Structure 1
Amino acid sequence: MWWAQQVLPKAFSCHGTTINDLAKQCFQHLYPILFMLATNAQLNNIDFRFISTTYSSDGKLLGRCKLVEASLLETLKETRKRLYQSMIKHSDVATLSSSISSAPYVVQLYLVDHNHIYISVFKTSLSEHFGWRQPLPVSGGIIPIEMDKEPPSRAYIKLNELMGLLGRRPAPGSKIAELGSAPGGWTASLLKLYKPQDNIQIQSVDRSPLESWLTKAYRPPTLTHHIANGLTWEPEEPVDWLFNDMALPPMKSVKVLERWIKERQCSQFAWTLKFVGESEYDAVTDAVETMMKCYNVSYTIRHLANHGNELVVVGVVHP
């Protein structure tokens, strides 16, 4: 499940030769479900909302899938206006409340081929520490990321995707350690999230320097760069958040993370594991599970859309 970008629970298969045929079948399946869910929510005084997403593994079919969605939603708007008004705009997903009760139902349209579409309706949820659970309320399970030319590497895309999935970021005033930081993609992206009065403190660690503009624009204690080995470097005092993007053999990487957890040097972490080939997946994830149980850590493992052969472990270290 870690590698799945998106899931389609209880998917229903529809067939049709035209866009209107496909939309009509999807509507006939969707309307009774939405009506039942909305009625139940009203009886229990719960906010009911849903979001519609489209996807196709064949890029050439995505436009057709969107046309099916448009026809379906137009029918819903014309005939079931109150239900239609419960729909969340895609632009509003990032600002959804973090409360579980406000998490929406996800309506997914997945076009397999020209005349075959799956429709799935399932409630997503939002964990306080680990963010959105699948099905994700975004098309194809891919968090939209705004391109930014300022960070000195494209690694910032992975961090921004992770923050989007978590639905949160380190709080103002947080002390952050970042291992494997050069040339500064994650560092720059983190710094852009905050204003000077937020009093964020980042200690970046790498054997190479950051891009010079970063260390000129941000001075200690906002940004302190250590030319050091991330495998052995330790903070003078525990940090609130630990980020890691070092390219290490995965088992060795797990051992480094274990030292931080065992010594309670961080409260929360996002730790990237980088693989070569496929032979170590089970052994490494089993080692992570054993370690988390041993040290009383709540965690999740995610594979991001912008990852290569990588996983990220997000955890909360309990006293």
Structure 2
Amino acid sequence: MFNSLKYFLELNLPMHPYSFQHIPKEDLSEDLLKIENEQLLKFCEKEKQKLNFLLNNVKEEDIILELKKYYILNEFVDLIPKIRLIALKTTNKPYNLKDLEELTVDKDGLVLFHDILEYNSENKYMLCLPISDGNSNYWLSKEIYKLKDENISFKIRLDPLAINPIDAVYKMTVFGEQLDWEKLSQIKDITQARFLENDTITELYWNKRENKLHFFCEELPKFEEIEYRGSRYFHAIYDITNQKIIHCDGSVKIYEELDFLNRNDIHLWDENSKNYGQYVKIFRADGEISTDNFTSLITSFFVRNNDISNYFKTLTKEN
């Protein structure tokens, strides 16, 4: 095992060679010595085309060092997300740390967002990553922070691995089509949709119950990804009378192989779909949320899912 792994986990470092600047020299040196020439040669043969592009502007005297860094990164790409899913399934991390022993944690592993903002701890913590991408929580965190002074109870799941993550700033342009809430309110029973993009399935449906609309959405991972990526699952309740969202929550659903195959054989609106996979809540919000703010929350939770962006958004917006 490479010494660098713990730093990539705790600091939530991007999978890029510049991240090694945050690794103590002695640990990095030891890791580099662990890589045998035969291993490096096989790696170079397998990833020849990609490495030629990545190393195009690297000085000749630095090529071996950079190759070894890419070798280590390649080992981490699937390993770190696997470790995160295992921690979410089987432990209460990071709440087992002495640093967090006075923090109130509910039965779903969530803590009040205001408590985290005011909590006096030695370390920094972050919202749990919904998927394996290292910045997949960034836009959702921003949207929750924007609403911190509203009369909304926000609870979040702290990431089980990241301690004192490196601060970063990202930009993204989002496109989409406005959802017609008035038309949606007139449905009789259920309306549903299913999208397929790059072999990724996203399903959603609205279920009318008296004067409320219950919304459910799930983005399924590919079968070969389930060891390191859960599905992104979202639930919300829209009050037709007040024209407000009164509750929403986002979760990660972690699947074993058989559960995933069974879930993949049916649709989200099938009653049995909820029986497959283990739910781990990432955040929960209770209170009156405007449809505009809700749209920002859900599209941030499903960041990089173009189908959800197109379903909910109308304007080009840069966050």
TM-score (normalizing by structure 1) = 0.24
Relative to the length of structure 2, the TM-score reads 0.24
Q: Name which structure has the greater RCO, CA cutoff 8 Å, separation 6+.
A: 2
